[in-house]
Structure 1
Amino acid sequence: MNKLTALLVFCLMTPAMAAAQDDVSKRALAQELSRAFPQLENNLKSTINQYQMSASLSDLSTQTKPQPQVRTFMAAMTTANKTEIQARGLEKYTDELLELRLADPSMLARWQAGQSPLFAFEPEGAESEWQYIEAYDIDGNLHYLDVYDIPERPVLVVDTNNREELKAGLALMRDEFKALQSSEPSEKVKPAPYAMLRAAAEPTEINTTILKKIQLKDDHEPWISGKAEIYAIVSGVSPSRDEPTIDVIEMPYLDYAEQSYPANQIMVFWDRYRWGAADIILMEQDDKTDYKQLAQTILKAASDFLATIPDKEAQTYLIIPQMTSAIIALLPDDLFVNDDDFVDVFYTIMKDTEYTEHSGAGNNATADFAPLIIQKTQ
C-alpha cells in the first residue's frame, strides 16, 4: 500500500471501523493472556482473592525472571495501558488503568480449586447491541458466552480499572471547571445582587446535605462489566456570581443494583449554592469517556442556559431544574460508548430539608437525604 492509498484509507475510516481496530487490540491482549497464563497463574492466584478481585499492572510485574510469553503479554499490556491513559487525557492523574479482573466473585472458588479459566474482554459499542462475549481458553480456542448469564467457568477479563479511571476523570473535570470559570471575561463574573445580601461575617458553621441511604433498581447489566461505578453531578447557581456551580462527587460504595447502601456522604455544601437549592444527577462511569470534553459540555450547557435568563432573582431556584435539564439534553452520545450513562436525577434538593424514600425523576434511584450542620473548629 503506497502512502496516498494509506492516507485515503485513514481519512475514509468510519467510527465503526475505528472501534473494530480497538476491538482487535483487546482481543489480542486476551489471546496473549491465554498464552502467558500458565506462567502467570501462581502470581494471579496469590493476588486475586475474596478481598481483591483484580490484579493491577504493578501486581503482574513482580516476576523476577519472566518467561518469553509473559514478557510478550506484559509488553502488550504496558503499551495498551499507556494508550488508554493518553486517549482519556489522564496522564496527570494516573499511571495505571488496565488490570486483570475475575469477572464475578462466584467464580473464585472454582478457579482457586483448579478449574481452567477463560480469557475475555468487554465488547465495543452499546451494551444493548452486544450479541455475545468472546473468550479464549488456554489452548487458544474461541468461546462465545451469553451476555447476561454468568458462565459456570471462571473468566479473567482484560479490563480498565473503572474505579481508578473514574477517580482520575473526576479530578480532571474539577480542574477543567476551575480553569474554564477562572478564565471567563470579567463582565461575566460581577457579584450577583443575591451575594450582596449575604452576611459579611465569617460563618461559624457549615450547612450541608448528606445522602443517608440510596438504592438503584436492577438495570440488568452484563456480567462482564463488573461493579457499577456511579458518580454525581451537583448543579446549581453560584451565590456570588451569575454563573453555574457544578460539583462532581465520586460514590465508590455504590456497586450493585437492588442493594441499599447507608452512604452518609455529604453531597451539597450550601455555601456554594444560591437560593438553598441544587439538583443531583446520577451518572454511571462509562468506557472511553472523554472527561475534559464532558466537563466542557456540562459547563457550556449550564452557562448558555443561564445567559437566557436576564433576571435570575425573579424566578429564583425555579431555573435550576431547567438548567439541569439543559445539561442532560446536551450530553452528546459520542462522549460515551455504552448506553447506560445517565442513571437518574433528583431535582430541587432544598437546604434544611429532609427527604425519605425520595425517588429520582426517572424512578431508577431512591434515596434518603438529610441536612447536616458542621460546626467550624477554631
Structure 2
Amino acid sequence: MRPRQARRRGTVAALVGSLLALSAGQTAGALQATAATPAPTTAASVDATQDQAARAIARSLTDSAWRNRVRHAALTSDEVPVTALAGRAGGGLKATLAAADRRIATAKGLDAKVGPLLRLRLGSDSMRGALTSGTAPWVAPATSDDDATTVVAYDSHGRTHTLDARHTPAHPVYVVDIDGSKALAAGLDVLDEQFRRYGLSSDASGASAAKPQADPSERARAAGGGFWTSRITAVELSDDEEPWVKGDAEIYTLVTGFGQDGQVRVDPVDMPYLDNDGTVYRPNQILVNWSNYKYNLADAVMMEEDGSTNYRDLAKAIVTALLTITDQGTYVPLVNAVLDAIPDDWWTDDPDYVDSWYTLAQSDNGTRYGARGNGWMTVEPYFVQEF
C-alpha cells in the first residue's frame, strides 16, 4: 500500500509561515511567461488510457492460447511488460497498447524514448489459487484516486464488474497500470535536465566548502579530499488504508538549498526501496551532498510518482518559483516555494506530495519527523572519503 498524501494546499501552507525573500528577475519573468500551465487532465488522461488498455486486454482473453500465456506470465512475474508480451497476441493488441504507451508518455511529459510503460500484474497474491485453477480473470485499470471506493473490472465479453476498492475480491483480477520505477527514472531525468538548463543544478565549487568545520581534525579530513553528506539510516511513512488495486509507491525527494554560486539549486533523489507504508526501511542512502551547498542547511520535499505527474510541467513550475528567490546572505527555507509551485489540480484530484523536512542541518544526527506528520527519517553526518 502507498502512503496517503495531503489533500489541500491550505493544510500545507499552514505548516510553516513563509520566510521567503522574493525578488522578480528577468529570467524568472521570461520563464513565467512561457511556462505551460500543467494540464488539469493529466491524471484523467492517464486513467482513461489505462481503462482503454484494460478493455482491450480483457477482450483479447477470448483466445485461449493467449489467455494461457498471460496467466503463466502473471503467475511467474510480479510485473508483466504487457505491450511486449502482446506481440504474441492477435487482433492488433500490440498496436493498441503501443499507442496507449505513447499517450501516457506524452501526458506525463516524458520523451517517447522511455519506451513501453504499461504493465500487467495480479491484483493480489490471494488470487493466485483461483487463477491457477482456471477461473477466467477480469481486467481492471489502476486508479489514481486514493479515495476510490469501487473498482471497475472487465471480462472477456466486455461486461463490467464493480468491485469494492477496500476489500480484495476472491475472483482473480489483472491490474493494468504504469511501470512506476521506469516512469520515475525517466521523470527524474527530465527534472534534472530542466533544473540544469535554468541553472538550478550547478556543479559544486569544491569539496573544501562541504562544511563549516567545527574543529581542526575535521578540517584536516576535508583537506585530505572528500565531502560531507547526510545519510538516511532509517525511514518510514505512515500506514494509511488504500485501494487494493494500487501498487507500490514510487517515492523521490527534491532536496533544495543554495548552491556554491549563491543560486537556488534542486537535487532530485530517487528512493526506489520505499514501496510500502508502515514499513521501516534502512537504506543507508545519501540524501544531501553538502559540497553542493553554500550553507549547512537544506530542505527536502518528498513526492510520489503517480498518474497526475507531468514531469516537464512540474519542472517548469518549480523553476519559475525558485528563480525568483535570491541569496540574502542567510539561509531561507524553500519548501513553501516548491509546494506553492505544485499545480492546484494535483492537490484536489490526486496529490503527489508526501511530506517535507524544513532546514535539515548538516550536523543533524537522529530522527527528524516530516512537517505534516506523514513520515520520519533518521539521518547522520557521513563523510565520503576520496581514494
- Within a 5 Å distance, the mapping from 1:1-378 to structure 2 comes to 25-37=49-61, 38-49=64-75, 52-57=77-82, 59-61=84-86, 63=88, 66=89, 70-91=90-111, 93-123=113-143, 126-128=145-147, 130-181=148-199, 204-239=225-260, 241-304=261-324, 306-307=325-326, 312-313=328-329, 316-317=330-331, 319=332, 321=333, 323-334=334-345, 338-356=349-367, 358-377=368-387
Contact preservation (8 Å) 1:244, 1:299: no
Contact preservation (8 Å) 2:230, 2:382: yes
- Please state which structure has a larger fraction of its residues in helix: 1
Contact preservation (8 Å) 1:107, 1:153: yes
Determine the C-alpha separation between the residues in 1 that align with 2:47 and 2:112.
26
Determine the C-alpha separation between the residues in 1 that align with 2:239 and 2:302.
15
- Shift in Å, 1:59: 4.2
| Worse overlay, 169-178 or 340-349 | 340-349
Determine the C-alpha separation between the residues in 2 that align with 1:149 and 1:344.
27
Contact preservation (8 Å) 1:93, 1:172: no
Determine the C-alpha separation between the residues in 2 that align with 1:288 and 1:42.
33
* Pair 1:160–1:181, CA change in 2 (3 A): same
- Shift in Å, 1:352: 3.2
Determine the C-alpha separation between the residues in 2 that align with 1:232 and 1:140.
41
What's the secondary structure of 1:127's corresponding residue? coil
What's the secondary structure of 2:52's corresponding residue? helix
Task: Give CA deviations for 1:31-81 in whole Å, capped at 9, x if unaligned.
Answer: 22122123323322332346x312114541453xx4xxx333222111111
| Worse overlay, 324-333 or 26-35 | 26-35
* Pair 1:337–1:83, CA change in 2 (3 A): farther
Contact preservation (8 Å) 2:232, 2:377: yes
Contact preservation (8 Å) 1:120, 1:135: yes
* Pair 1:20–1:275, CA change in 2 (3 A): closer
Task: Give CA deviations for 1:243-263 in whole Å, capped at 9, x if unaligned.
Answer: 111011111111111111111
Q: TM (normalized to structure 1)?
A: 0.79
RMSD across aligned positions (CA): 3.0
Contact preservation (8 Å) 1:213, 1:368: yes
Give 1:7's aligned residue: none
Task: Give CA deviations for 1:331-361 in whole Å, capped at 9, x if unaligned.
Answer: 11245785241111111111133123x2111
The aligned length equals 334
Determine the C-alpha separation between the residues in 1 that align with 2:341 and 2:127.
40
Gaps of 5+ in 2: 1-38, 203-208, 214-218
Give 2:8's aligned residue: none
Task: Give CA deviations for 1:223-252 in whole Å, capped at 9, x if unaligned.
Answer: 21211111111011112x221110111111
Determine the C-alpha separation between the residues in 1 that align with 2:293 and 2:266.
9
Contact preservation (8 Å) 2:74, 2:120: no
Give 1:191's aligned residue: none
Contact preservation (8 Å) 2:105, 2:112: no
Q: Which amino acid aligns with 2:386?
A: K
Q: Percent identity?
A: 30
Greater relative contact order: 1 or 2 (C-alpha under 8 angstroms, separation 6 or more)? 2
- Shift in Å, 1:82: 1.6
What's the secondary structure of 2:167's corresponding residue? coil
Determine the C-alpha separation between the residues in 1 that align with 2:201 and 2:272.
31
* Pair 1:110–1:92, CA change in 2 (3 A): same
- Shift in Å, 1:133: 1.2
Q: Which amino acid aligns with 1:47?
A: A
Contact preservation (8 Å) 2:199, 2:265: no
Q: TM (normalized to structure 2)?
A: 0.77
Determine the C-alpha separation between the residues in 2 that align with 1:87 and 1:202.
48
Determine the C-alpha separation between the residues in 1 that align with 2:278 and 2:43.
33
* Pair 1:15–1:231, CA change in 2 (3 A): closer
Determine the C-alpha separation between the residues in 2 that align with 1:44 and 1:75.
17
* Pair 1:120–1:140, CA change in 2 (3 A): same
Gaps of 5+ in 1: 1-13, 185-193
